[in-house]
Amino acid sequence: MNYTEPELKEALIRFDKLLRTCPDRNENVLAYKQFITSFLRVKTKNLTLPTSEIMSVIQHERPSTFYLLKKSMSYDPTFELLTNIDLNYEMASLHLSAIKEHLS
């Protein structure tokens, strides 16, 4: 079943681009923080926003960036919650792939 979720589709494209263009370096923490902040504003109609999956991918693929996000944003309750999500990376990747397929 295909869903029409243009905002989510665009956000997932931006996430893929972010992963390709911003390696796991200290200077890229702001780019990831800005992405997460904008991602949380995405509106969906038929699907749940895959926030846990996004955070799991960042945690696994960009561990230093994730650590710095967690450390620098500990004062923000939303980021505190997001950086404490524990989701299996393989499951998160599979779920994101399935979502992308449904949005095609």
The runs of H, that is alpha helices, within 40-76 are 51-61, 63-72
Q: For residue 4, what pLDDT band results from cuts at 50, 70 and 90?
A: confident
Q: Does 1 have pLDDT greater than 70?
A: no
Mind listing the pLDDT tens digit for each residue in 41-94? 999 998 999 999 999 999 999 999 999 999 988 888 988 888 998 899 999 999
If you ran DSSP here, which 8-state letter would residue 43 be given?
-
Q: What's the one-letter identity of residue 19?
A: L
User: d(Cα 75, Cα 9) in Å, to the nearest integer?
Assistant: 30
pTM, two decimal places: 0.92
Are 50 and 5 contacting, i.e. CB atoms less than 8 angstroms apart? no
